[in-house]
């Protein structure tokens, strides 16, 4: 009896036989897993909570690290010149998608116009030149914006609930970071509108922190610090210096309060990174970045550090504590 074997059956049979061959006999190499290039702008420890949220969402969507997906982590350690270097490395590795912070995404976009890029924490994606528009990104870039139109004023309102008679406010910003400069101007405008005397403190490097805060000791009764990599990497130092100068601090994200700041109000960064996992899922399943609109923050957190308040001799109103998402005590 003659048995006819089709091409598909033959390939399956040969595949099964190859799987049974010893490695020494030259077994086929396993197929390359879909690969994500994850570029962290600072350090693994600084981004740990956000990375965990990203990986957790991927897992929920069926992407198991090491089994169904590979993630190549690289950390720039706050060195901006590393952004392009890491992007070039990802290009060489032929990753399927790159995930990074908004500021680094600019450098990555200059390296590749073909690999999909998902940014997180971009303050102004259109103004930064990352996308053509929020609804129609175009090109190979999309992601999650950290653009917040009303949070600056909200932070000042919260600060004045703790210090009702606040007369003078200092704003510290890294003037080498355009988004921080824009936030500084916004705070200055709103502060002056509220009748506050506003002092500007410009920093560019870590060595500027100590003299900048020391100079504010007798000029201001509170300190608003804009967010950027320099600030995040030196949050413990900034808060230690501010406490020494008896300056209550207000920030845009919770990590600064966990490190000793008085309070923060802003987008939940872990939530944004979790949502970035959904973008990666869609892209790996065939959706083009140009067809994925840029999304805005939808979850905001108010975090208050009562230990810091007590150290500064401040009383946080119960009404404010009742609205807080987290109270550190």
pLDDT tens readout for residues 106-164? 999 999 999 999 999 888 899 889 999 999 999 999 999 987 668 889 999 999 999 99
Structure token pair of residue 109: 């976009």
Per-residue pLDDT of 66-75, as tens digits, reads 999 999 999 9
Q: What stretch of H or E contains 19?
A: helix 7-20
Please, which pLDDT band fits residue 182 given cuts at 50, 70 and 90?
A: confident
Residues 6+ apart with CB under 8 A from 76: 39, 40, 41, 42, 82, 83, 86, 104
CA distance 286 to 271: 24
Q: Which CATH class is domain 35-146+269-298?
A: alpha beta
Per-residue pLDDT at 20: 37
* pLDDT above 70 coverage of the chain, percent: 90
* pLDDT above 70 for 269: yes
Mean predicted lDDT score pLDDT of the chain: 89
Do 35-146+269-298 and 151-267+301-328 show the same overall fold? yes
Integer angstrom CA distances of residue 294 from 106, 257, 320? 15, 28, 32
Question: What is the pLDDT at residue 146?
Answer: 84
Task: Select from 242, 168, 255 the least CA-distant residue to 209.
Answer: 242
User: Average pLDDT, stretch 52-58?
Assistant: 98
Task: Look at residue 147 in the predicted model and tell me its pLDDT.
Answer: 75
Domains in the chain: boundaries: 35-146+269-298, 151-267+301-328
Residue-level pLDDT at 25: 41
Q: What's the confidence (pLDDT) of residue 227?
A: 87
Which string of DSSP letters, residue by residue, matches 56-121? HHHHHTT--BTTTBEEEEEE-TT-THHHHHHHHHHHHHT-SEEEEEHHHHHHHHHH-SSS-EEEEE
Q: What is the mean pLDDT of residues 279-295?
A: 97
Is the domain defined by 151-267+301-328 classed in CATH 3.40.50.720? no
DSSP string covering 159-184: HHHHSTT--EEEEEEETTSHHHHHHH
d(CA 308, CA 263): 9
Neighbour count for residue 263 (Cβ, 10 Å): 27
């Amino acid at each position: 009896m003659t048995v006819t074997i089709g091409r598909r059956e033959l390939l399956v049979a040969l595949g099964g036989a190859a799987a049974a061959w010893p490695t020494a006999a030259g077994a086929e190499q396993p197929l390359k897993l879909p690969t994500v290039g994850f570029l962290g702008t600072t350090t693994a420890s600084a981004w740990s909570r956000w990375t965990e949220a990203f990986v957790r969402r991927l897992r929920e969507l069926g992407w198991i690290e090491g089994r169904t997906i590979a993630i190549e982590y690289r950390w720039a350690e706050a060195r901006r010149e590393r952004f392009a270097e890491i992007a070039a490395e990802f290009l060489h590795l032929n990753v399927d998608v790159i995930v990074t912070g908004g500021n680094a995404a600019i450098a990555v976009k200059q390296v590749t116009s073909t690999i999909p890029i998902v940014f997180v924490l971009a303050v102004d994606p259109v103004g930064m030149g990352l996308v053509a528009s929020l609804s129609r990104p175009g090109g190979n870039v999309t992601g999650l914006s950290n653009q917040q139109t009303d949070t600056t004023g909200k932070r000042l309102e919260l600060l004045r609930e703790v210090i009702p008679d606040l007369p003078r406010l200092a704003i510290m910003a890294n003037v080498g970071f355009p988004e921080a400069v824009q936030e500084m101007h916004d705070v200055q405008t709103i502060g002056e509108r509220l009748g506050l005397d506003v002092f500007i403190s410009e920093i560019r490097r870590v060595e500027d922190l100590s003299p900048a805060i020391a100079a504010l000791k007798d000029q201001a009764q509170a300190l608003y610090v804009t967010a950027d990599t320099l600030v995040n990497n030196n949050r413990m130092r900034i808060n230690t210096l501010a406490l020494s100068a008896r300056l209550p601090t207000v920030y845009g994200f919770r990590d600064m309060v966990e490190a000793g700041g008085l309070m923060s109000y802003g987008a939940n960064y872990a939530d944004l990174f979790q949502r970035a996992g959904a973008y990666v899922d869609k892209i790996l399943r065939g959706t083009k970045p140009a067809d994925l609109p840029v999304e805005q923050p939808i979850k905001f957190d108010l975090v208050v550090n009562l230990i810091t308040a007590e150290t500064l001799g401040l009383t946080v109103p119960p009404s404010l504590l009742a609205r807080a998402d987290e109270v550190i005590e």
